A and B are shown apart, each in its own frame.
Chain A
C-alpha cells in the first residue's frame, strides 16, 4: 500500500477550491475548474479557461467522434480524465484549409485529404503533440477531458461570466 495517495480530479468526482478575498476582487483571479467546465460543455466545444493575450488554454469534453480540426501552429493536448484515441493525417495542402499565419484551430468541412500519420491511444496524464499542418480527430467511447494549449481562434468559446467566480 502506498504511503501517499495522489488526488486527481475527474468528471465523476471533483471538489472545487475557492478564492478568499482580503482586499481585492475575486474576478481578478478568473477562478474556474476544468471538470466543472467540461461537465457543462457540449462535446468538443473549445472553452477557454485561461487566456494570455492571443494565447489560450481550452477545455474540451471528449465524447464520441469529433470533427477533424487543424491549426497552422503546433497545439498540445493533455488528457485530464478518461481515455481516447487521437488520429492524425498530414494534410496535402494545409494552406488551403488554414492560412499559415492563422491563430487557433479550425474545423475541416469533411474528412481530411492527405496521408495517414498514425494514431495514439491516450489516457489520463498523457500529453500529445498536434503538429502544425496535420489534421486531428479525437474518438472517446466514454466522456473524457482534454486540456488544449493553443491560440485563440474562431472555435474558441469564451464564457467567462459562466465559468468564473465573480
Chain B
C-alpha cells in the first residue's frame, strides 16, 4: 500500500505547480486551467485523507468541490467571452483600463 504521506506530497506538488502557473502565465484561459489544477490537487488530499481515516466526508467534499468548480467555470468562461469581445484577446497584460 502506498503510504498516505506520498499522496499528500503529490497533492502539494500539483497545487504548487498550479500556483506558479497562475502567477507566471499571461493567458487568462491558461491561468484558469492552473486554478482548476489547484482544485484537483486539493481533491487528491481529500480523498487520500478520507481513505486513511476511513470516513466518507472527504470524498463527499470532493464531489461538492467539483460541482463548485464546474459552476465557477461556467461563469468564468462567460466573462472571458465578454472580455474577448472588448479586447480581442484574453492576455492579462492588455487588460489594464484601471490600474492593476
**Chains A and B form a bound pair:** no
| Chain A interfacial positions (CB closer than 8 Å to B) | none
